[in-house]
Chains A and B, each alone.
Chain A
């Protein structure tokens, strides 16, 4: 097999440039502002265990739910050419189911697993609901998911009878913050686990190829024997599972379920992460890694703004400015201009040499 040279690799992965540049700029900016910004230290947490601390850790940790949702959102976007705006609401439902099951008995290992499986099942069911509206009834994804977006948090409210119950258990604490003896926050580990899971899925199934094919040309996909309706449905079910994981993390962090505030507005950040990752929101080809990098870029931006003591009410406005710049940088117009600029640079030398000869 041919070995990939550096430029070839860059050309194949050029869409990762935008999120990488964004992260790089944020890193440089912060290092100039405060050279110690990214220093990671080991300190004892309130349980006395040594754990990693620092801005870098809080960025990676804080972005976990977003990163996981953006993975699922990437697939939905690629397959259906639209976005699911109900992921925050669905995560709240999942979190509520998780807590509901936990409240049913004494919190123990098997109960936690049962609770997680239950919230996965419920979440995937709702994902299937969204997915069937989109794939079978051919409703635009944003309209189809508007339904769950609107009523999701009400459903979450019903599940626990309107209460916001708390759960206290070392196991839940281990999921939401640290496993005793491991200095890395558990949500980061869960993201890595999800990443590996998706990598395995793409390696050992043809899901990636099918999703891209359906997203690019559904009719042709069908004529090549692909069940296009099924693939779209599947992408929504997978996103449902991602919502369950994100909801579980969110609940475990706080030790309570607040159906009104859990992962509120995260759907927009998840869509944004997909876009910053260089994926077309119109579907088709995708790179999941891009979306995950996009998620970290968004979180890095938020943490940077907080570190600069920007009042939380103003953060959104500043975020918007940076995001406009990122999105414009990744736009086809700028991309075209850049590629023309490159070819010009490259062709300048031989052209000049040619003139001398003439």
Chain B
């Protein structure tokens, strides 16, 4: 074991039936460092974490932890905890209706009688110490997501914690909250805790990490000091090729869309959005941009009839019509990939096949179900075309990785051959390789004449794909940028509204 290492994993192997999840992976975590674990979806990050926390038994390899002689075997999350390995997962797993203090100590006390006073005092000290802006008696649900996340971390580190695993802790936080969380991570680092940080956000990796370990296809690519590995190199290591993809995509000029107006709305409003005007031409890719909560998602939801439509005139291909519910939009050849894949997109327990055919089946009508053979053919066609990684078309979609789930939802809408496709955050939470694939696909579809509205939190991504950007602030459209105006700086300035 290395001198300052708190955790070493050597030659870790893990196999699932037909899948090599981890092959001979080494990982070393040093005291008082933040170590980013990077890789695309399916690279083996989660498996490695799960081996480390005792969720999966490993098939081969050796784990050593500081302070324990010899190799240890971790057979359950409880054992991992006993060795000082704590995990905070992406989804907050606390109880919102209990107080902060209760959440920090619940299920901990060995005694039957809880000393509430002492517990609250202890919680107060810990919160103060870590600089977490929460009071012990406060109901957890009344705290912001970031603070809840921090309470979860405080709970994890209260025990004798040597290794803290943060699995996508920032995915539901805004920039300010992320900064707060980073402050806490630095504080813990200064106390000598080793932190394993798993995230999809490259910028965040560089903001806090000291070391970076990259996995690809279940194998170790390498371990690097963060300062020696520029972001571009990191991405290359993750996807295993140089970034020709990125540059070629940039060179393609997005279609300007001089074609027929496919969809047009005047003073369209819904229960969630203020009246706005909008139009899109055949073969055009445009986008709504703005801060989270600026109303960009609500606008496209109004177009699709996802929320209650309260007013406005809509024309599809020049003909006046009414779109008040999703089915109306679908019948007019409009598709909508929702922002929250888990909540609004996937039908978790249904097979990949049923998830793919769903929208087309609904358009086709209740009395005209597809035969099993036909459904199978549809599914196979798109599994192949979009390179969806799944064991079979009968696999439930919930067992796929995030990126592949997103591809299934994309396949669902492509199968309906829409003339106008709305993509709300199609690339959120998925790996960079799939991101590029989706961006390329968008441009290819537009070239074939499809109109696409593309929404992304990453402005760069929108600049690469969109020929027109509609900028929103406080639920109003505040600008429309085309041509020369499409630069990061200009977009930022319009979003911020600093004046021309």
Q: Hey, which bits of chain A sit against chain B, CB under 8 A?
A: 1, 12, 203-207, 209-210, 212-213, 216-217, 219-227, 284-285, 343, 351
Contact = CB atoms under 8 A, between A and B. Distances in A.
A235 to B, nearest CB: 14
A210 B366 contact: yes
Contacts of A212: 347, 349-350, 354
Contacts, number: 80
Given A12-B394, A204-B367, A213-B347, A224 B362 contact: yes
Given A206-B361, A209-B361, A225 B327 contact: yes
Given A12-B394, A219-B344, A224 B358 contact: yes
A223 B366 CA distance: 16
Q: Which 7 A-B pairs have the closest CB atoms?
A: A225-B327, A225-B362, A206-B369, A225-B330, A225-B326, A216-B347, A216-B349
B384 interface: no
25 contacts: A1-B376, A12-B394, A204-B367, A206-B369, A209-B354, A209-B358, A212-B350, A212-B354, A213-B347, A213-B354, A216-B349, A217-B343, A217-B347, A219-B344, A220-B344, A223-B304, A224-B326, A225-B325, A225-B327, A225-B359, A226-B327, A226-B362, A227-B327, A284-B349, A351-B59
Interface in B332-356: 336, 338, 343-350, 354
A284 B373 CA distance: 24
B392 to A, nearest CB: 9
A206 to B, nearest CB: 5
Given A1-B376, A285-B349, A225 B363 contact: yes
Interface centre among B59, B344, B367, B376 (most CB of A within 10 A): B344
A199 to B, nearest CB: 13
Contacts of A209: 350, 354, 358, 361, 369
B380 to A, nearest CB: 11
Q: Which of A205, A210, A212, A224 has the most chain B CB atoms inside 10 A of its CB?
A: A224
Contacts of B344: 217, 219-220, 223
Interface in B83-127: none
Interface of B: 17, 59, 304, 306, 325-327, 330, 336, 338, 343-350, 354, 358-359, 361-363, 365-369, 372-373, 376, 394, 412
Nearest to B354: A209
Contacts of A222: 306, 325-326
Nearest to A227: B327
A206 B347 contact: no
Contacts of B345: 220, 223
B298 to A, nearest CB: 14
A239 B327 CA distance: 27
Contacts of B330: 224-225
B65 to A, nearest CB: 25
A65 B480 CA distance: 66
B327 A220 contact: no
Nearest to A202: B369
Contacts of A217: 343-344, 346-348
Contacts of A224: 326, 330, 358-359, 362, 412
Nearest to B16: A343
A219 B343 contact: yes
B343 A220 contact: yes
Given A210-B366, A224-B362, A225-B326, 5 more contacts: A12-B394, A217-B343, A219-B344, A223-B345, A351-B59
A225 B325 CA distance: 8
A336 B361 CA distance: 34
Contacts of B362: 206, 224-226
A266 to B, nearest CB: 29
A205, A206, A207, A227: residue with the most chain B Cβ atoms closer than 10 Å: A206
